[in-house]
């Protein structure tokens, strides 16, 4: 019973986000896809290579980021939470078609959180304004129907915990 309540509650959040009059248009859909795209695996790796070549990150940070990617794969395949758009019991539309099977946690949001942390550490003058990056990416994933709100919040928390833990933050 509890699981049904949680699923219905999160389904209703997704449906509300997708059907809000202000957001339910082609411009917003294309914007959400554009926001989400750089945090797919291949484009994200390309961004990391560019950051490495520009000496914005070092090889130890690259290894840590790859470690985080492995954690995402392990968690997704262990927890195996069905994506909201794959749940036949709701009316959530799937707007992103190049996805794997499972939703928890959001890899895109974790990647955005890691990138925001790196930018904050490398360029402290940016300040806490960079926190908007994982929030926007997470929102785009919910809007696109491929994640629940708890998937993106968990990914942000996981990213922050991994990045700020003693053995990661010293690099």
Count how many domains the chain has. Answer: 1
CA neighbor of 32 nearest in space, from 126, 122, 152? 152
Distance, C-alpha 83 to centroid of its chain: 13
Residue 118 contacts residue 62 (beta carbons within 8 Å): no
Residue 92 contacts residue 142 (beta carbons within 8 Å): no
Please state whether the predicted TM-score (pTM) of the whole model is above 0.85: no
Does 108 qualify as catalytic in the annotation?
yes
3-state class (DSSP) for residue 82: strand
Considering the candidates 108, 133, 150, 152, report the single residue annotated as catalytic: 108
Considering the candidates 147, 148, 151, 159, report the single residue annotated as catalytic: 147
In tens, the pLDDT along 87-117 reads 666 666 666 666 667 788 888 899 888 888 8
Query: What is the span of the domain harbouring residue 55?
Result: 2-169
In tens, the pLDDT along 26-63 reads 777 777 777 777 777 778 778 888 888 888 777 877 77
Ordered alpha helix ranges (H), 54-106: 59-79
Does 86 qualify as catalytic in the annotation?
no
């Amino acid at each position: 019973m509890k699981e049904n309540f949680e699923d219905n509650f999160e389904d209703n959040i997704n449906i509300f986000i997708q059907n809000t009059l202000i957001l339910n248009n082609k411009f917003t859909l294309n914007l959400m896809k554009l926001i989400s795209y750089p945090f797919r695996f291949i484009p994200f790796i390309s961004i990391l290579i560019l950051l490495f070549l520009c000496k914005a990150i070092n090889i130890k940070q690259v290894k840590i980021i790859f470690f985080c990617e492995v954690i995402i794969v392990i968690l997704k395949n262990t927890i195996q939470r069905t994506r909201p758009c794959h749940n036949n019991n709701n009316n959530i539309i799937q707007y992103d078609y190049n996805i794997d099977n499972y939703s928890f946690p959001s890899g895109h949001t974790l990647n955005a959180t890691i990138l925001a942390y790196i930018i904050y550490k490398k360029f402290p003058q940016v300040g806490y304004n960079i926190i908007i990056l994982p929030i926007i990416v997470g929102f785009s994933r919910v809007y696109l129907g491929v994640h629940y709100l708890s998937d993106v919040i968990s990914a942000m928390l996981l990213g922050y915990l991994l990045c700020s833990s003693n053995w990661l933050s010293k690099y």
